[in-house]
Amino acid sequence: MVFAFYLAGGSDGLRLSFFMCSHMPALEALGEHSMAAQGKPLRKSVPVLLVLSTIVMLVLISASPAQSAAPVNVFSVDNYYKVTDAGSRAEFKWVLFNNVTSPYLIKASVAPSVSGDISEEFSSNFITLDPNQSTTITLVVNSQKSMATINVTFIITLQASKMNDPSQVTEVNETASLLIKSVVGQLAGQNKLFGIWDNRLPSPLDGNPGAFAVTLAGWIVIALAVAFVIDPLVHFATRKTETMLDDMLLEILRGPMFVFIIAYGVVNSVEIMTFDRDLVANIEYIYHVAVIMLIVWAAYKIYKNIVLYYAKEYASKTDTDIDDVLVPLLEKIGMIIIPLLGLVAVLNMMGYDITVLLAGVGFLGIVIGFAAQSTLSNFFAGMQLLATRPFKTGDLLQLDNGDICEVKHIGMRATELYNPDTNELVIIPNDDVANKKIINLMEPDVKLKLVIKIDVAYGSDVEKVMRTLKETGEAHPNVLKDPEHPVVVRFSDFGESALNFKVFIWIDDVANRYKVPSDYRQAIDRRFREEGIEIPFPQTVVHFKDETERKN
C-alpha cells in the first residue's frame, strides 16, 4: 500500500506513507480500545483499521497537491569534502540523468564564495539533456596561492526546465566543502630560527626580526661553507679517482648549488617575518622560477660537457659514420629540448594547462611534417645510409648517368660527391641516393675489371692478334696476372669493316681506371705496327658500272 501510494502522490505521498507507518501502533491501540468498549472481538478490528487508514489517506491525498518525481536525477560520483593547497585546483563532479520522455535544459549555478581569493566555474553552465541521456558536470575551484587557510562550503543549484514547457521548473541543490590550506607564510610570526627552533637569543635578537636576521645570516654562512670548504674537500677526494666524470660534475654543480642555497635561505628567512602574503607569494614565485632555471642550466651543461663529450669520444673510436653525424644532431636537439622543458615547467607552475600546449605542439608537428615531407624523407634516408653503410666517405661511386664521383660527406639531408673529371661538387638528396642505382667501385675491393674493344682489318691472322693482345695486357705492371684474374681475349664479332675483339683485364686499383686503358692502347698500337697488324677505319667501297655493262 505504501509503494502504490508513493506512485500516486509523489514525494509528498512518500512522506505521508512514512507518517502512516510510524503512527500505525497508535491507530491499532485506538482500534482495540474502541472495539473493547463496544464489546466486539479484537480479530474483527483489522478490517476496520484498514478501512479507516484508507479513508484517511484518500482524504489527505485529495487535500495535498499531486507532484511528479524529479525529471533529472543527480548522482554523486565524487568525494564532496576535499582538502587542497592554496593555489591548487580542485574539482567536484556529478552525473545528471534525464529519466523522462521530454528534453530538459539544465542551468548550473553556485553561490558566490565568501573569499575573493577563490573562483568557481562549471565545465558548462547550460546543458541540454535528451530523454534517457546522461552527462557529467564539473565544478572547478581555483584559489590564490597567497590566501590563508579557509574552509569553504559551496551550494550548487541545478535548475531543470522542460524544453517544450518552460513553466515546469525543478531545482536540485547539492553541497560541496573544500578545505584550502595556506602554503605561504606558514611560519610568519612564530619567532623560530630557521623555522624549526624557538628563538631564545638575547635582546635585541629575541624577536621575530632577530630570528629573520639570524636565519638569513646562517644560510649565507652555509652557502659559503659549501663553496669554500666542502667543495674543495670533495674535489680533493675525487682527484684520486681514475675517471674525470666526478670532477666535471663538481665543476658544473658548484655555481648552481651556491645560488640555490642562497635563494632557499632568503625564502626561508622571509617566511619568518609577517610580511604581506602577496609579497611573500611573489618572492616564492621568483624562487621557484629561479630553481627551474638553475636546473635547466645545470642539465644543459651536463648534457653538453659530459654526455656529448663521452659521445664524441666513443664516436671517434668507432668505424661507423652514423655516430659522427648523430652526435652533432643530438647536440642541436638538446639545445632546443632542454630549454623547452624548462619553459613547460614554468608555464605549469603558473597554472597554464600544459595538455593544451602539448596538443598544439602535436598539431604543429603534423603540419610541419606535411610541409617538410621531402626534408623528413631525406632525413630518414640519411639515417638509413648511415646505418646500412652501402658506402662511406672516400668511396668512389658510379652514378646512374655514368659519372664516377668520390663521397665527401654524408649528411642528414644530402650527400656531397666530388666529380674529379669535371672538378665539381655534386649534392644529391639522400632520398635520391637511397632509391637510385649506384655502383660502389670500392666494394667488395678496389680491384676493377675493364673491357677494352680492339678492331683489326679483315685478312689479319686471328691467332696472332689474340696472342699479341694477351701478351701486351700481361706486360703492364698494374694489370693482374694471377689465375683468379687472368687476361682474357675474345673474338667478339665480324664487323662491317673490321674484326672485333674484346680484352678483359683486371687492374690492381680503381684509381688506375683511366691510366691503364690509355697505356694499354698505346702499347697495342706499337705492337700492331711491329707485327704488321692493321687497325682499319670505317670505309665504304662504291663500284661504278660502264655503259656497256648497263646495256647488257
Check whether 56 has a pLDDT greater than 50: no
Q: Look at residue 551 in the predicted model and tell me its pLDDT.
A: 56
15 vs 517 pLDDT, higher one: 517
**Integer Cα distance of 24 and 9 in angstroms:** 19
Q: DSSP class of residue 496?
A: S
H or E segment to which residue 198 belongs: strand 197-198
φ and ψ at residue 114, rounded to 5 degrees: -80, -15
For residue range 360-370, what is the model confidence (pLDDT) as tens digits?
667 666 766 66
What percent of the chain stands above pLDDT 70?
A: 77
Return all residues near 455 (Cβ < 8 A) that are at least 6 apart: 495, 498, 499, 500, 501, 535, 536
Q: Look at residue 541 in the predicted model and tell me its pLDDT.
A: 67
Check whether 111 has a pLDDT greater than 80: yes
Per-residue pLDDT, averaged over 447-455, amounts to 89
Q: pTM for the full model? A: 0.52
Confidence of residue 430 (pLDDT cuts 50, 70, 90): confident
Per-residue pLDDT, averaged over 349-368, amounts to 70
Give the other-Cβ count within 10 Å of 191's Cβ.
18
For residue range 381-428, what is the model confidence (pLDDT) as tens digits?
777 776 667 778 888 888 878 888 888 888 777 888 888 888 888 888
Q: Look at residue 5 in the predicted model and tell me its pLDDT.
A: 30
Q: Is 48 strand, coil or helix?
A: helix
**Integer Cα distance of 420 and 439 in angstroms:** 17
C-alpha cell at 248: 666535471
220 vs 446 pLDDT, higher one: 220
Per-residue pLDDT, averaged over 36-52, amounts to 45
C-alpha cell at 284: 616564492
Per-residue pLDDT, averaged over 80-91, amounts to 86
For residue range 492-529, what is the model confidence (pLDDT) as tens digits?
999 888 899 999 999 888 888 888 999 999 999 999 98
Q: Look at residue 269 in the predicted model and tell me its pLDDT.
A: 84
Q: Look at residue 270 in the predicted model and tell me its pLDDT.
A: 82
Confidence of residue 319 (pLDDT cuts 50, 70, 90): low
Per-residue pLDDT, averaged over 161-175, amounts to 86
Burial class (CB in 10 A: 0-12, 13-18, 19+), 484: exposed
φ and ψ at residue 532, rounded to 5 degrees: 75, 30
What residues form DSSP beta bridges with 162?
104, 165
Q: Are 504 and 450 in contact, with CB atoms under 8 Å apart? A: yes
**Integer Cα distance of 344 and 354 in angstroms:** 7
Give the other-Cβ count within 10 Å of 431's Cβ.
20
Q: Look at residue 239 in the predicted model and tell me its pLDDT.
A: 77
Check whether 235 has a pLDDT greater than 70: yes
C-alpha cell at 429: 638528396
**Residue where the block lists cell 659519372:** 403
Q: Look at residue 322 in the predicted model and tell me its pLDDT.
A: 59
Cα separation of the two ends of the chain: 142
- Nearest one of 490, 464, 486 to 474, comparing CA atoms: 486
Q: Look at residue 243 in the predicted model and tell me its pLDDT.
A: 76
- Nearest one of 96, 80, 84 to 175, comparing CA atoms: 80
C-alpha cell at 160: 531543470
Write the CA distances from 369 to 77, 149, 375, 420, 430, integer angstroms: 42, 49, 9, 37, 17
**Integer Cα distance of 267 and 460 in angstroms:** 106
Per-residue pLDDT, averaged over 108-123, amounts to 81
Q: DSSP class of residue 195?
A: T
Check whether 35 has a pLDDT greater than 50: no
Confidence of residue 70 (pLDDT cuts 50, 70, 90): low
DSSP string covering 448-466, please? EEEEEEEEE-TT--HHHHH
Check whether 219 has a pLDDT greater than 50: yes
**Integer Cα distance of 384 and 397 in angstroms:** 17
Q: Is 174 strand, coil or helix?
A: strand
Per-residue pLDDT, averaged over 216-228, amounts to 89
Confidence of residue 63 (pLDDT cuts 50, 70, 90): very low
Cα–chain center distance at 295? 20
Q: Is 295 strand, coil or helix?
A: helix
Radius of gyration of the chain (CA): 49
- Nearest one of 432, 322, 437, 438 to 377, comparing CA atoms: 432
- What is the Cβ-side half-sphere exposure of residue 497, based on CA atoms within 13 angstroms? 8
Q: For the range 407-414, what are the long-range contacts, defined as Cβ-Cβ under 8 Å and sequence gap of 24 or more?
A: 410/321, 410/325, 410/382, 410/385, 410/386, 411/325, 411/382, 412/325, 412/329, 412/378, 412/379, 412/382, 412/383, 413/375, 413/378, 413/379, 413/382, 414/378, 414/382
- ∠ CA 27-31-35, nearest 5°, is 175
Give the other-Cβ count within 10 Å of 491's Cβ.
14
For residue range 174-211, what is the model confidence (pLDDT) as tens digits?
888 889 887 776 667 677 788 788 888 888 888 878 88
Q: Look at residue 31 in the predicted model and tell me its pLDDT.
A: 44
Q: Are 527 and 468 in contact, with CB atoms under 8 Å apart? A: yes
Residue 327 is which amino acid? V
Q: Look at residue 548 in the predicted model and tell me its pLDDT.
A: 57
Q: Look at residue 114 in the predicted model and tell me its pLDDT.
A: 66
For residue range 271-307, what is the model confidence (pLDDT) as tens digits?
877 777 778 778 888 888 889 999 999 998 888 888 8
Q: Are 86 and 143 in contact, with CB atoms under 8 Å apart? A: yes
H or E segment to which residue 522 belongs: helix 515-531
**Integer Cα distance of 427 and 338 in angstroms:** 33
Check whether 12 has a pLDDT greater than 60: no
